[in-house]
Amino acid sequence: MAGGRGVLLALLALLTLPAAGAVKVGHVEVQVDLYQRDERLQQEGGEFMFDFDGDEIFHMDLQKKETVWRLPEFSEYTSFQAQGALQNMVVMKQNLENDMERSNRSQGTIAPPEVTVFSEDPVELEDPNVLICYVHKFWPPVISITWLRNGKEVQDGVFETVFYRGQDRTFRKFSYLPFVPTRGDYYDCRVEHEGLSTALLKHWEPELPLPTSESTETLVCALGLAVGIVGIVVGTILIIKAMKMNSARNQRGLL
């Protein structure tokens, strides 16, 4: 995908039409339809997603032809049939063909992605956590996100969101990787996009406290023991001194 400058990639413009009756007290429900095709890779795909104030409610798995709810609880309050989304894809595919012919198959302006990697929770040694790769401000929405641990590709447990709209008609996407912080491990989020000449690697390492060496532990124990002995000796001397002073007072009282 990267390095393909001059390669034709046509993308139908994003439709952001509020659903019927969806505008309520400043809150907006939006239906997002997207169809795209990469002619160099001979790949095509689409997206049908419904959001509320920018947060996803559900999207359609167009291959499995089923609704995927962002949270399972959402399905208890409403439903959606996949057939409507599939019909939209057919219409948008035809619209794309028409737009490509009218534009003489020219390519739109490419916007390379920006990438940030961070952990879901504060990192603690051997405490399960989740790494998040946030990729944003890119166009078109054709992108590859891969996780590497110690330089080797990781696939187990990886979860990726659909494309989300940006305010400037660019897109954003999240990729999640469950992991257990281990000393010495490092991670990279690798992003490939038409706007990048080479794959972009965003490096991340857990910030863990340095291990205490055996000699340091021995020294600390020795110092603790020495302080304890000194405390005992000083305490004993003070007790003896106090006893002598008390004895001297008693003798003076008898005279």
Pick the CATH number of 114-204 from 3.40.50.970, 1.20.120.1200, 3.40.50.300, 2.60.40.10: 2.60.40.10
Domain ranges within the chain, ordered by starting residue: 9-102, 114-204
What stretch of H or E contains 233? helix 214-254
Determine the pLDDT at residue 79: 78
Give which of 180, 179, 186 is closest to 126, Cα–Cα. Answer: 180
Domain 9-102 has CATH 3.50.50.60: no
**Residues 6+ positions from 59 with CB-CB distance below 8 Å:** 47, 48, 49, 50, 67, 68, 70, 162
Q: Look at the pTM and tell me if it is higher than 0.85.
A: no
Determine the pLDDT at residue 179: 97
Per-residue pLDDT of the chain (255 residues; tens, 9 = 90+): 444 333 333 333 333 333 333 334 456 677 777 777 666 656 677 788 888 777 788 888 877 788 888 888 887 777 787 787 888 888 888 887 888 788 777 777 889 999 999 999 999 999 999 999 999 999 888 899 999 999 999 999 999 998 988 778 899 999 999 999 999 999 999 999 989 999 999 999 998 876 655 556 676 677 777 777 877 876 777 777 767 777 666 666 655
